[in-house]
Amino acid sequence: MSRLLVCPPDFFEIEYEINPWMRLSNRVNHERAVLQWHGLMSVVEKDLGVVLERMTPITGLPDLVFTANAGVVVGRTAVVSRFRYPERQREEAHFENWFRGHGYDVVTVEEGLCFEGAGDLLGFPECWFGGYRQRSDIRAFPVLSERFHREIIPLELVDTRFYHLDTCFCPLSGGELLYFQPAFDPYGQIAIAERIPNERRLSVPEDEALRFACNAVCVGKHVVLPAGCPTTERLLQERSYQTHSVPLDEFMKSGGSAKCLTLALD
Amino acid sequence: MAQDTASETMGLFQETVLISGHIIDSLLLAKVLDIILMMGGTFDLEDVHIGKTREEPSRARIVIRTTSKELLDDILKAIQPHGASVEREADCRTADVPADGVFPDDFYATTHLPTHVRLNGQWVEVDRIEMDLGILVDERASVARAVPMGEVRRGDRIVVGREGVRVSPLQRPRERDIFGFMESQVSAERPHGHVIADIAARMRQMRDRYRRGQADSKVLLAGGPAIIHAGGREALAWLIEQGFVHLLFCGNALAAHDMEADLYGTSLGYGLTAGRAVPHGHEHHLRTINRIRSIGSIEAAVTSGVVKQGIMAACVRQGVPVVMAGTIRDDGPLPGVITDSVRAQSAMRAAVPGVGLALLVASTLHSVATGNLLPATVPTVCVDVNPSVPTKLADRGSFQAVGLVMDAASFLSEVARILGRSA
């Protein structure tokens, strides 16, 4: 049974601008945000049968809701994130405490290196991919690769709108990849093609990519994704995935969607 | 500033970066190298280690070179986000000379390539670079120069280990002549015509530069007595008279036979015009040496009119310095021959700065000795009928020498003819 770490959106707000989606003038409708978050949780818990671990929200940390950036969990080891922006660095201690309190061996990357957790490190059982340039430092990946004995292919993120790897790249349980190719440079596109054959690469159209179609949660043959991405849903259904679309536009005001709101624990 | 000129022509702005991780399949290494090239730099890929399994990381060491400091900084800035980090630089390490004439253990042995050492955080060019020496540094003055083992004094500071030492490969010169290839392919079968024409063109260019007082414009000729025996004496004398040669390295024999030819018309007893052994001709060089010894010096012999023509006479008249290094089999020797080989080596070394072209003609001993003293940046030609001489020179590290397997007289006559001497 899968477990996901989540954090209720009690204090979710736009309090600063650290990605192209965030606008201080674009206020969050708090009520809607809470409804949308509970809608997502309900699908994940009831339809997907996932166990949710809820963190305690903290006032003044609006983005604590995006637990995908807490770190990355491998077995009983948690690599806690080091955020690029001071606005989110304040979250680090809370994520670390949570992991420690739940019996994880906590690891950090060396000081001075940024690493934003499962937002920038995703993969298949054998081969992982690391997004860099926007948030995480490429130098974090060799360290993690050595620690976990996994190949990590670094991919440069060349479009600031897709500032984390999980905004444009979503590995699926059957070995397919849902992704938005133009978010990568030609070197990255070739590197992806080398690892994932053409027939397993599902290219999301730009309008749906901009609705964060790739910021999806895949558990078994279920994929939870933001509403308004019919082409992506069809691509997934053709591969016999069951799709669950959830309205999450309040969180898109912050540049996050389904995947950003969850962290896979095991 | 001379440093700037040298840096520009030699492309000496460089930095070493390291990159590691899964850099091959991610095309990260390719991307970094492409960035360097696209921005106008060049690189050498060193110590590439490719992981044996998918999990094992790969790593590469990249030496980046540019023609300006700004471009180097721009390139470094562009590749650092892709994981290329500047190799941690350290000053060179030095140790005290323990006793006069003795290098400290683990001394850095030089090559004849342009070399820099890092002193107090700055890269400083090693002055008078030459192969097989040590590097003497004055840390306070931030200067460094190559120094032979025998010349160091107790308490001198000598570079030890390899840290903080940079050796730059030769850049292709702009001239598209034979020296542009800077490689010592030695073959008797190669056509000589264009090689000799290129050498002559360089000599003409050097003479112009020398007359304008420009740096590194001296032509050095190191030669053996075969020049005289084979009939190259007049051609060489003409080249000296015309201002194409500015420095001569030779031994006792070349000078003795040159003046023997003037006094007796023979070279080692052979009539130079008749081509036959002259009765008692083998004594001529001894009588020549004796005569000069009685006069006191070659210069006096020329200025007093005893020696009228030939190579030595031309050198005296043109004020061309001659360094004569003696050997164990010498007769006499002539006044001015340095019989202490370490002193002779020092005298040759002292004369080398400013040389811009070296012709090593018909002498194994003097060719190899001179080759050892020259920086790799000096275009060098080695002419000998015996292919083993240019080969030996190359084997001893003077890879920049162009080897020409031919007779000395033919070579000198042809060069002189191209430069305007009527046959």
A176 Cα to chain B: minimum distance (Å): 19
Number of CB atoms found within 10 A of residue A13's CB? 18
Residues B258 and B135 in one domain: no
State the average pLDDT over residues A1-30. 94
- CATH code for position A148: 3.75.10.10
A30 is catalytic: no
Q: At A53, is the secondary structure helix, strand, or coil?
A: strand
The domain boundary residue, chosen from B148, B167, B186? B167
Q: What is the DSSP string of B320-346?
A: --EEEE--TT-SS--TTEE-SHHHHHH
Tell me if B172 is assigned to some domain: no
* pLDDT value for B189: 64
Least CB–CB distance from A141: residue in B21, B30, B85:
B21
Are residues B54 and A127, on separate chains, in Cβ contact within 8 Å?
yes
Residues B398 and B311 in one domain: yes
pLDDT tens-digit series, residues B311-356: 999 999 999 999 999 999 999 999 999 999 999 999 999 999 999 9
Tell me if B262 is assigned to some domain: yes
What's the domain range around A169?
Answer: 3-264
Are residues A152 and B54, on separate chains, in Cβ contact within 8 Å?
no
A260 is catalytic: yes
Residues B395 and B310 in one domain: yes
Give the HSE-up count for residue A159: Cα atoms under 13 Å, Cβ half-sphere: 18
Question: What's chain A's Rg over C-alpha atoms?
Answer: 17
What's the domain range around B231?
Answer: 178-418
CA distance B60 to B73: 20
Residues B51 and B162 in one domain: no
Tell me if B173 is assigned to some domain: no
Q: For the whole prediction, is pTM greater than 0.80?
A: no
* pLDDT value for B30: 95
Least CB–CB distance from A190: residue in B27, B54, B83:
B27
Residues B162 and B257 in one domain: no
**Minimal CA–CA distance to B40: which of B11, B64, B66, B8?**
B66
A-chain residues near B20 (CB < 8 A):
142
Residues B6 and B56 in one domain: yes
Residues B39 and B99 in one domain: no
Domain count, chain A: 1
pLDDT tens-digit series, residues B20-68: 999 998 999 999 999 999 999 999 998 899 988 888 889 999 999 998 9
**Could you give the ipTM of this predicted complex?**
0.89
Least CB–CB distance from A187: residue in B21, B31, B55:
B31
Tell me the sheet residues that pair with A173.
none
Residues in chain B: 423
Residues B220 and B345 in one domain: yes
Q: Which residue of B has its CA nearest to A114?
A: B81
B-chain residues near A187 (CB < 8 A):
26-28, 30-31
Catalytic residue among A7, A94, A164, A229: A164
CA distance B255 to B298: 9
| Helix B341-351 / helix B364-373 crossing angle, nearest 10 deg | 60
Domain count, chain B: 3
Are residues B54 and A195, on separate chains, in Cβ contact within 8 Å?
no
Q: What are the pLDDT tens digits along chain B (423 aa)?
A: 333 333 344 457 888 999 999 999 899 999 999 999 999 999 999 889 998 888 888 999 999 999 898 999 999 999 998 999 888 778 999 999 999 999 999 999 999 988 999 998 888 999 999 999 999 999 888 899 999 999 999 999 999 998 888 887 676 555 666 776 555 466 666 678 888 999 999 999 999 999 999 999 999 999 999 999 989 999 999 999 999 999 999 999 999 999 999 999 888 777 777 777 888 888 999 999 999 999 999 999 999 999 999 999 999 999 999 999 999 999 999 999 999 999 999 999 999 999 999 999 999 999 999 999 999 989 999 999 998 888 888 887 777 888 899 999 999 999 999 999 986
Residues B217 and B79 in one domain: no
- CATH code for position B347: 3.40.50.10690
The domain boundary residue, chosen from B17, B51, B86? B86
